[in-house]
Structure 1
Amino acid sequence: MLKYIFSFVVVVAIILVAITVGANNDQLITFNYILAQSELQLSSLVAILFGFGLILGWFISAFFYLKLKLKNIALTRQVKRQTQQINELTVSRDKAA
């Protein structure tokens, strides 16, 4: 629980720093993207692109975290199965002796 609170505080702090840096830039710029173009304040564009990058980074990190979690579950299942097989072989060896 503490980890999630700390992560949230760090994310909020980063966003506040990005907005503060961008707030001093009130120049209008023309932003061309694939389908159209628009005029935005530089501070708004910085905040939008920073937020997009942050969300994209979280998604990529979540993908790799989920991939590792699933691999961990599969390996844990394999270890349990092998431990059970070892125990069965040990018991059958002890009975034969």
Structure 2
Amino acid sequence: MLAAVGLTLGAENGSYVRFNFLLAQGEYRLSSLMVFWFLSGFVLAWLMSAFWIVRLRMTRRSLRKQLVKEQHRRNDGESAVSGRND
């Protein structure tokens, strides 16, 4: 929605800028470049966040598995100890 508002407001601004990139150059509307870079940053931030969330979920899953194994090991140890005292 912000991109649409930016393009709408930028349509009135007809200034062109020369944009040099690695292999070529071109003239683009300033508003179009601003929207492009804003959306690129937004997508990049989403990808980084998604990677971080997936990594945290995988860590949480492995820690939960370790916790379940430890609980089973402790329960088995307690039942063996209580079985000897009877």
Q: Do both proteins adopt the same fold according to a TM-score greater than 0.5, normalized to the shorter chain?
A: yes
Within the alignment, does 1:72 sit opposite 2:56 as a pair? no
Partner of 2:36: 48
Within the alignment, does 1:59 sit opposite 2:47 as a pair? yes
Report the Cα distance in structure 2 between the residues aligned to 1:88 and 1:19, rounded to whole angstroms.
66
Identity, in percent, stands at 31
Pick closer, same or farther for the CA change 1:41–1:75 going to 2, 3 Å: same
Alignment RMSD: 1.6
Tell me the matched-pair count: 85
Given the two structures, how large is their TM-score scaled by the length of structure 2?
Answer: 0.86
Q: Which runs of 5+ in 2 are unaligned?
A: none
2:14 pairs with one of 14, 19, 26? 26
Report the Cα distance in structure 1 between the residues aligned to 2:4 and 2:84, rounded to whole angstroms.
71
Q: Which amino acid aligns with 1:72?
A: R
Partner of 1:93: 81
Pick closer, same or farther for the CA change 1:39–1:17 going to 2, 3 Å: same
| SS of equivalent residue, structure 1 residue 34 | coil
Given the two structures, how large is their TM-score scaled by the length of structure 1?
Answer: 0.77
Report the Cα distance in structure 1 between the residues aligned to 2:60 and 2:6, rounded to whole angstroms.
36
